Amino acid sequence: MSILPPPADERIVIENAAIATVDAEDREYRSGHVVIAGNRIESVGEGRAPQWLQGVTRRVNAEGHLLTPGLVNTHHHFYQWITRGLAQDDILFDWLVALYPTWSRIDERLVHAAAQGSAAALLKSGCTTAMDHHYVFPQGGGDILGAEIEAVAELGLRFTATRGSMDRGRSDGGLPPDHAVETTEAILLASEAAVDRYHDASSDSMLQIAIAPCSPFSVTTELMRESALLARRKGVRLHTHGSETAEEEQFCKELFGMGPTDYFESVGWLGEDVWMAHCVHMDDSDIAKFAETGTGVAHCPSSNARLAAGIARVPAMLAAGVPVGLGVDGTASNESGELGTELRNALLINRLHGSPSALTARSVLRLGTMGGARVLGRQDDIGSIEVGKLADLALWKVDGVMHSSIADPVAALALGALPPLSLLLVNGRPVVEKGLLTTVNEDRIAKAAADAARELASRG
């Protein structure tokens, strides 16, 4: 079950920290304070917090630290935690062909172990909200979606779980093997059931559901159209992979007679309630359509590099007004599983376009916080340090040997090594203290994941 927020009359005070609020004015404080009442931010400002506050259960002297909003992960595949380090030198399509047979043997027990490993890595790297795109549901695998939801709730991570799907097997011109796909009817029924069972639309929600067919090369046009209609009828968001590789673009042109963006438009998949993973191969007209419709993008720099997919045009997307957040992607194509390191990777990789200011330390921090919140439709609740927002906060130690000589604390986070995480709050509750999880024993997670990886490999 999820961790309940503290009572509203209990307060945590964090003071003497450098603070990057990532609010609309990008306000920063050289030595400031934040007061948290229950699960909400009550005040933020320069200097120390008032000493007369009532109900203070904890005061944190954060001298030598940077306080930021918790990071928001907009694309992941948690189950891949137990298939890391495989197909190390393949492009996307070859990588998928190599791994689909293994993934088609997962079940709820293995997914629970994998989800806890993935969630632990995210929390320990400063992530407070994550989504997961799970789309492999083998027959006889049990309640896989329920298993990962339970696993994540135990760790205290705010979660957008997606009911993913594949209904186009190899015999129908798709990429996955036939035994790894479901029928269109079964997918739609299961997707609606997942929304009805789990989705919490409240502003305090720790769990939301989105509907997420896997990709143009693994689902039918009927499933894309019907999923969009279902999601809008149920009031939830839509997610899929889009324009990840040159091979995908060619696949779409051969199968549909058009590129990925035009195909998405033709099936009702552009809009403010939609976000796509990757979007590497986008021309000016594609970016303009995303900007005009408010369609979001999950930028996954490490995975894009690992699979040699290319460099997404993030600066051009931002200039056009496209909502962009950061994503880890599956840990079989980004073995670190950390979101915090994606800040640095996004900044450096996007400067390879040739501009030293293509992205800055502060613009990648915004991508990783408010950008992600906007992509997930939660910008009113999370993503910045503002009065009334949920208390999802990351406190980074930047006065140690790796960071003490970096003049700018935000640069220490975005350009330096990932700083140690002294405290991570989700919904006002500490879930990481001094770099360690507070909710579940890390050794237990590590052993369960290793055992699950060995068992899955042996099922071949």
| Residue 411 scores a pLDDT above 60 | yes
| Residue 127 scores a pLDDT above 80 | yes
Averaged pLDDT, 405-417: 98
| Residue 175 scores a pLDDT above 80 | no
| Residue 288 scores a pLDDT above 60 | yes
Instruction: Report which secondary-structure segment, H or E, holds 19.
Output: strand 11-20
Q: How many helices (H) and strands (E) does the chain have?
A: 15, 17
Q: Distance between CA atoms of 21 and 25, rounded to whole angstroms?
A: 9
Averaged pLDDT, 76-87: 96
Q: Where in the chain is the domain with CATH 2.30.40.10?
A: 11-69+386-437
pLDDT digits (tens, 9 = 90+) for 217-230: 899 999 999 999 99
Q: Determine the Cα angle at 200 with ends 235 and 69, to 5°.
A: 105
Instruction: Report which secondary-structure segment, H or E, holds 374.
Output: helix 372-375
Largest Cα–Cα distance in the chain?
A: 70
pLDDT of residue 37: 97
Q: What is the DSSP letter of 390?
A: B
Q: Where in the chain is the domain with CATH 3.20.20.140?
A: 71-375
Helix, strand, or coil (residue 187) = helix
| Residue 95 scores a pLDDT above 90 | no
| Residue 460 scores a pLDDT above 80 | no
Model-level pTM? 0.97
Could you tell me which CATH class the domain 11-69+386-437 is placed in? mainly beta
Is 66 within 8 Å of 413 (Cβ atoms)?
yes
pLDDT of residue 298: 98
Q: Determine the Cα angle at 342 with ends 209 and 62, to 5°.
A: 95
Instruction: Report which secondary-structure segment, H or E, holds 162.
Output: strand 158-165
Structure tokens at 257: 């007679």
Higher pLDDT among residues 140 and 198, named by residue: 198
Burial label, 332 (beta-carbon count in 10 A; 0-12, 13-18, 19+): buried
| Residue 2 scores a pLDDT above 70 | no
CATH number, domain 71-375, options 3.20.20.140, 2.40.10.10, 3.30.390.30, 2.40.50.100: 3.20.20.140
Kindly provide the b/e burial profile for residues 365-381, where b requires at least 16 CB atoms within 10 angstroms of the residue's own CB.
bbbbbbbbbbbbbbbeb
Nearest to 425 by CA among 454, 389, 400: 389
pLDDT of residue 173: 78
Q: Say how many Å lie between the first and final Cα of the chain, rounded.
A: 33
pLDDT digits (tens, 9 = 90+) for 249-261: 888 999 899 999 9
Averaged pLDDT, 280-306: 97
Is 330 within 8 Å of 80 (Cβ atoms)?
yes
Averaged pLDDT, 348-370: 95
pLDDT of residue 198: 98
